[in-house]
Amino acid sequence: METNPSPTATSHYEHSSYYCPLPDHSSQPSPRRPLKGFAVIFASMIFLMSLVTLIIIQSPEPASLEKPEKDPPLSTKPSSFYNISTPEVPRGVAEGVSAKSNPSLSGNHGVSYNWTNAMFSWQRTAYHFQPQKNWMNDPDGPLYHMGWYHLFYQYNPYSAVWGNITWGHAVSRDLIHWLYLPFAMVPDQWYDANGVWTGSATILPDGKIVMLYTGDTVDAVQVQNLAYPANLSDPLLLDWVKYPKNPVLIPPIGIAIDKFRDPTTAWLGPDGKWRVTIGSKVNGAGVSLVYTTTNFTTFDLLDNYLHEVPGTGMWECVDFYPVAINGSTGLDTSVNGPGIKHLLKASLDDTKVDVYALGTYFANNDTWAPDNLAEDVGLGLKYDYGRYYASKTFYDPKLERRVLWGWINETDTEGDDLAKGWSSVQTIPRTVLFDNKTGTNILQWPVEEVESLRLNSTDFEGVVVKPGSVVELNIGTATQLDIFADFEIESLGLEETNEANGGCRGGAVDRSSLGPFGLLVIADETLSELTPIYFRPANTSAGGLKTYFCADERRSTKANDVFNQVYGSQVPVLDDEKFSMRVLVDHSIVESFAQGGRTVITSRVYPTEAIYGAARLFLFNNATRVNVKATLKIWQLNSAFIRPFPLDQIDTVKPLQPF
């Protein structure tokens, strides 16, 4: 259906004598009360407090309470909040893993915005995977088996903060609708007593499944352990057996006991042996150790690293897989040969970002070299330039694709997470392909199954947004959306100005000749809360155009206990391409994909006003000398069915026919 933007909304802004849609946002000082008035108020408060105290002492029964107003502000935290002290260092660091809390917020000591239950309820996503309650972090061992996609994940059964790490387990037919299953593995052995940490699945040629995972021992030593399904004919893989002679790997000489974790999916070499790589750190360099095995119970450490990059620190959650240079499908992890590049990815413990590089794998000595040394692992490209970490891929044999999972953690306080009872979300699974147009990066794109959630759509054709203006897109409630937007810039012929290219750093209020322009998502009608997703092109000295893709969270909420910032990076826009973006909005999660997925940004937002029916969607143009013409197609999205598996029906589950 084709519609036009609201004329009333447009004229509201155009009739202003001067309007810059995204001014620097600062709170206004409160009016000052006269000193005499303050003294009177203070004396009155003392009197009232004395009176209340006298009444309480004299009353044998507690006073009856009137029915509270609908959805009162949460004035107290759960008792567990007071029992959990704010750590001096981020949670998890002392235990030998990456930070699992926000150091910038850890000093709040429970001071929180006056959140309501309605606000907390709105933050929970509608179609992203998350447990019913409590803490979740890294995705583990994703795989496809007998018609079911399996996701395992780091989970705390007892609280909404990190700790007691267990493997949660869920299954899906389509990667969108999920059923929770009983825990796959719990920390019940000496070799994983302090946590069943991150691991990966390998499916052998005969169909057997082996799972290697990191355990934190009773002595806080990181070791690698083997587990496998108790019944391979069970489509749900409900029961897992830990190898009786675990651990199968311990930290080798020269590797610290807390710097040896997160084994990858194994790949088969030309000599018939399997290879596994594990992340570590040596003298400040991030490294990936390589082991060979024929049985997954005994391993040989190779003398050389798969790769190392000085100064990048501890490498966690290493991933290593092939991508086809000219192809529209993914590849099994063991594929190698002509027309193939290999991607090496690491999660950097020091900076909490997922970085990758493309290069060549040399099977003769099990080493890898980047195509571009200047963009080696940790020096150049990121999977995602927003709130994203500890990702993991798997090969989906059903649809011949490489599927990427990633963890989105919270940016509010631990106290708020305890109050709402849950923490963290997984991204929408993404496919990964080589970008054969640029030849320098991958393309990430939401799996096609998310389209099954689409409801009604609205089209906007050729909407002109003038410099310094905002246009509301009348689509109704804007909390669950799939947005496709193309932008073209039209010069107004004004004199060019010399201006520094600041990239994303200045945010959406930083005006220049050609930008920024884009969308305002999760915005309220008065624009007191908004999250700009935008392009910022700039002329280069060579006469070309350099474009940045950005997300500015700094006005996404009025709450003062939320960590928010500007994210983004440069994105290649080729000569025959428009500025294009796809944005998935799901309550407190915004996933944004530029130019077909060359650059991706995940945002966490916690609005206080722009929630439920008050959430709106706008176009904006904060450039000074170009009009922007926008064409959009926007779908409202349904909620996914994510719920416990009906355990009384487990015996009726049948495997699907082979594909």
Check: CB of residue 514 under 8 Å from CB of residue 490: no
Q: How far apart are CA 293 and CA 67, in angstroms?
A: 67
Alpha-carbon gap, residue 231 to 546, rounded angstroms: 55
CB atoms within 10 A of CB 328: 11
Q: For the chain, what is the total number of helices (H) and then of strands (E)?
A: 5, 37
Phi-psi domain of 157 (left: phi exceeds 0; alpha: psi -120 through 50; beta: other): alpha
Q: Give the C-alpha distances (Å, rounded to integers) separating 307 from 36, 245, 249, 367, 394.
A: 72, 30, 20, 6, 21
Angle 615-630-381 from CA coordinates, rounded to 5°:
85
Q: Which of 233, 296, 224 is CA-nearest to residue 255?
A: 224
CA nearest neighbour of 320 among 391, 406, 214: 391
Q: Considering only CA atoms, which of 610, 627, 581, 620 is closest in space to residue 471?
A: 620
> 373 is written with which tokens?
């040394």
Out of 138, 366, 416, 586, which one is annotated catalytic? 138
138 is known as an active-site residue: yes
Q: Give the integer Cα–Cα distance in Å for 242 and 227.
A: 4
First-to-last alpha carbon distance for the chain, in angstroms, is: 37
Q: Which residues contact 534 (CB under 8 A, 6 or more apart)?
A: 508, 515, 516, 517, 518, 519, 549, 550, 551, 552, 620
Tokens representing residue 15 in the block: 């009739």
150: left (phi over 0), alpha (psi -120 to 50) or beta: beta
Tokens linked to 242: 């830990």
Show which residues are catalytic: 138
